[in-house]
Chain A
Amino acid sequence: SYVVTQPPSVSVAPGQTATITCAGNNIGGRSVHWYRQKPGQAPVLLIFYGSGRPSGIPERFSGSNSENTATLSISRVEAGDEADYYCQVWDSNSDHVFGTGTKVTVL
């Protein structure tokens, strides 16, 4: 089965850039989507197809994808960005696969 791995946690100071990775075999050839989940809330789509942003999502959120790592970047981090972040890919053998999740802490 296809596995994607994220770092359990990322800490970042306000105003800096948070970088969250999603590692998987040849993930650069797949469609990667990103979600934010705040405590007690449902996930919210942040990025689709690697770098697309739904309406209402600030430009501070951006995505990229190459070789074996997809990346979500959050620039000018704010206290309200504290949340869990998940990547998602589709695999023909494993269906929809979600990453293990990364907890972002704003220092």
Chain B
Amino acid sequence: QVQLVQSGAEVREPGSSVKVSCKASGGTFSTYALGWLRQAPGQGLEWMGRIIPMIGIENYAQKFQGRVTFSVDKSTGTAYMELRSLKSGDTAMYYCARQEGDEGWFDPWGQGTLVTVSS
């Protein structure tokens, strides 16, 4: 089964941007969708959107529209999530996860990338 390996922790100042990577280990993304989710400290899970790497279709949760971009480098099997205009409220663990269809579940998950926004 494919494993998802994410990039390391990041610290950013308010107003800046961050780009988190997610690499499919042991294979490619194939034809499935890749979801991006986040979890603020001590809080629940929040879906940010998804991308279908093979065909580049992206969907974003309304809350993040205009501030987040998903992309894929098919040559390296790596997906990226860029979040701009960072605020302290964006401090969270960010996860990539294989998304089963438009309405389905998430499995497996990457190990998570902690993004801290602080001046």
Residues on A close to B: CB < 8 A? 31, 33, 35, 42-45, 48-49, 54, 86, 88, 90, 95-101
Bound-state CA distance A98–B105 (Å) is: 11
Bound-state CA distance A48–B108 (Å) is: 13
Number of interface residues of B (CB under 8 A): 21
A100 adjacent to B100 (CB under 8 Å): no
Tell me which residues from 74 to 119 in chain B have a Cβ below 8 Å from any Cβ of chain A: 95, 97, 100, 102-112
Q: How many A-B residue pairs have CB under 8 A?
A: 52
A48 adjacent to B100 (CB under 8 Å): yes
Residues on B close to A: CB < 8 A? 35, 44-47, 61-62, 95, 97, 100, 102-112
Nearest A-chain residue to B93, judged by Cβ: A42
Bound-state CA distance A93–B103 (Å) is: 12
Bound-state CA distance A98–B112 (Å) is: 17
A48 adjacent to B104 (CB under 8 Å): yes
Bound-state CA distance A6–B19 (Å) is: 33
Nearest B-chain residue to A6, judged by Cβ: B44
Bound-state CA distance A101–B46 (Å) is: 12
CB proximity of B4 to chain A, nearest CB, Å = 9
CB proximity of A92 to chain B, nearest CB, Å = 9
CB proximity of B65 to chain A, nearest CB, Å = 12
